[in-house]
Structure 1
Amino acid sequence: MTATATPREQPTEPRRPGRPGRPAHRRRPLTWRAELGRQLRRRRTLWSFGLLLALPLVVVGAFAIGRSDGSSPTTATSFVSLATANAANFAVFTTSAAASFLLVVLAALFVGDALPSEASWSSLRYLLVAPVPRTRLLTSKLVVALTSMAFAVFLLIGWSLLVGGVFYGWGAFTNPAGGTLGWDVLGWRLLGVAAYVVVTLLQVGAIAFALGTRTDAPLAAVGGAVMVTIVTAILGQIDNLGVIRNGLPMYYQRAWFDLLAPTVDWTGIRHGVVWSLFWTVLFIGLGYALFRRKDVLS
């Protein structure tokens, strides 16, 4: 009696648990959804958004205290003197006060802290062994960080409008330089203001991103990006630099005020967008190039 040979079992390809038929090599660890969830659960994210929500309320309280001291009102020749006129003027003043420093710090924090925090937690090396390609790791963190930054800008402007409407009413926007804008026009202009502020902050995030690929200390990346912004702001005040200063990062950061004039002058806005995108692409590309050659030991 001869034994019949049984067919030799072919080795099966390892499959992802819970996802039958999907090979292990096609797994996509560290998805954008997972990274977004990690971003939203972090304390610094919650504190940052909490600060943005508190800022308009603090400004309302400051104006209330200022009126109660018996001082005479100032002449309506600036955004601060018209801030309590209505919701629109209040939102513009709050955005103006926050855009020059607070939003800059938050942009540097969201982007600059994303990668170094993994190194400080001693988890960066394990993410790359998972395996997560370096390009995918950087892209995931960069997209989520920039999305958080953009959401912070729109949140501040929208929440300021709501707070201003509750306390000061919903009148038409009054420009200190002259002219008013009704809500049919102002709504689109404010969306343009928010979009322009986001575009100008991209270069701050890009600088923080490039620094974050070279350091394991989150504070170094965040503080370095803020320091670069401060230095370029100082250099932008030196007239002897001539047209050279026009190309400095954040030089056109206040060009969004042109969107609030009855007739928009697009010159400064166009220059601001072009230079911002230039510095953004330059520093993000530099960050990718540096991180690909970096020995990850953390």
Structure 2
Amino acid sequence: MSALAERAGTADGYRARRTLPLRVELVRQLKRRRTLVMGSVLALLPFVLVVAFAIGGDPSSRNGRVTLMDTATASGANFAAVNLFVSAGFLLVIPVALFCGDTVASEASWSSLRYLLAAPVPRARLLWSKLAVGLGLSLAAMVLLPVVALAVGTAAYGWGQLEIPTGGALPPGTAAQRLVVVVAYIFVSQLVTAGLAFWLSTRTDAPLGAVGGAVGLTIVGNVLDAVTALGHWRDFLPAHWQFAWADAVQPHPEWAGMIQGTAVSLTYAIVLFALAFRGFARKDVVS
């Protein structure tokens, strides 16, 4: 052991930044059954909707009012937008809560967390690796759905303009760019769920508790947003802005709602991630 390493109390050649590489953690998470199941569910949703429209016929407006759902079969771009619309409120919450809430708690439930820290992997390094992979898989899930939906919708309904329910249409190239913006915004809006799940994952040894707690609190936020008696207080709820992305798929997009929603989501997420790192740094890990 070198004199420098001896004075630092570490083994010769030890580098904290080299412990638990992201590629190792990513491979571990990709091989897990829940990752494969979640990916399969998201990839199958567009096929389910195509079959539903084929059985039930083209969606039609109600009371003469045209909605985004009514334009689902107009083109592949419309079909992709509808898939995002029907899944953004709940279905896309699940992979975010799963990938970010199961990550640390699962190690504790397997009694392997203390061995990782004894490797030794610094606590902050372990959390950063877990969080980066969790967020990366969450983003991949959100990209997978519209990509598959666009391919399936184009095969079923053709490649064409994105028809807007309120009138007008977006050219295919512009529509693709706007869908990218929509996916990015949905990801940012789900950072609150990711923060909740990750914080709970550092507080419990039960993965189901962390995942279920994050999903449950997200649902509570949606319920509170439906209480109109709260008035302007709802502006502080992340759920209030979750569909602000609809303003991006207009002939003349409006960005104010998305900017406010991004600010609210990032504020909550930063606080929750900070709580996770602060609490885990002081936690007595015995699992």
TM normalised by structure 1 equals: 0.89
Q: Provide structure 2 residue ranges, at least 5 long, that are not aligned to the other structure.
A: 6-10
Shift in CA distance, 73/254, structure 1 to aligned 2, threshold 3 Å: closer
2:154 and 2:125 mapped to 1: Cα distance?
A: 43
2:56 and 2:228 mapped to 1: Cα distance?
A: 36
C-alpha distance after superposition, 1:37-69 (max 9, x if no partner)? 1011111001111111111011111111112xx
C-alpha distance after superposition, 1:143-168 (max 9, x if no partner)? 00001101111111111100000011
How far did residue 117 of structure 1 move?
A: 0.5
> Are 2:225 and 2:240, in contact at CA under 8 Å, matched by a contact in 1?
yes
Shift in CA distance, 42/73, structure 1 to aligned 2, threshold 3 Å: closer
The within-5 A match list for 1:99-114 is 99-114=88-103
Residue 92 of structure 1 corresponds to: 81
How far did residue 210 of structure 1 move?
A: 0.7
2:144 and 2:59 mapped to 1: Cα distance?
A: 30
2:2 and 2:73 mapped to 1: Cα distance?
A: 71
Residue 19 of structure 1 corresponds to: none
C-alpha distance after superposition, 1:161-186 (max 9, x if no partner)? 00000011012111111110001211
Residue 54 of structure 1 corresponds to: 44
* Structure 1 residue 265 corresponds to structure 2 residue 254: yes
Output the amino acid matched with 1:224: G
C-alpha distance after superposition, 1:188-211 (max 9, x if no partner)? 111101110110111110110111
Output the amino acid matched with 2:174: V
The within-5 A match list for 1:205-216 is 205-216=194-205
2:149 and 2:98 mapped to 1: Cα distance?
A: 22
TM normalised by structure 2 equals: 0.93
Q: Secondary structure at the match of 1:295?
A: coil
Residue 42 of structure 1 corresponds to: 32
2:286 and 2:264 mapped to 1: Cα distance?
A: 35
1:128 and 1:74 mapped to 2: Cα distance?
A: 57
> Are 2:135 and 2:194, in contact at CA under 8 Å, matched by a contact in 1?
yes
Residue 60 of structure 2 corresponds to: 74
Residue 127 of structure 1 corresponds to: 116
CA RMSD in angstroms, aligned pairs only: 1.7
Shift in CA distance, 135/189, structure 1 to aligned 2, threshold 3 Å: same
> Are 1:250 and 1:276, in contact at CA under 8 Å, matched by a contact in 2?
no
Output the amino acid matched with 1:66: G
Residue 8 of structure 1 corresponds to: none
Residue 176 of structure 1 corresponds to: 165
Output the amino acid matched with 1:123: S
Bigger share in helix = 2
1:169 and 1:192 mapped to 2: Cα distance?
A: 22
The within-5 A match list for 1:234-273 is 234-273=223-262
Identity %: 47
Q: Provide structure 1 residue ranges, at least 5 long, that are not aligned to the other structure.
A: 1-10, 16-21
How far did residue 255 of structure 1 move?
A: 0.4
Output the amino acid matched with 2:112: S
How far did residue 130 of structure 1 move?
A: 0.4
How far did residue 12 of structure 1 move?
A: 6.2
2:183 and 2:220 mapped to 1: Cα distance?
A: 24
> Are 2:53 and 2:59, in contact at CA under 8 Å, matched by a contact in 1?
no
Question: Which runs of at least 4 in structure 1 moved beyond 4 Å after TM superposition?
Answer: none
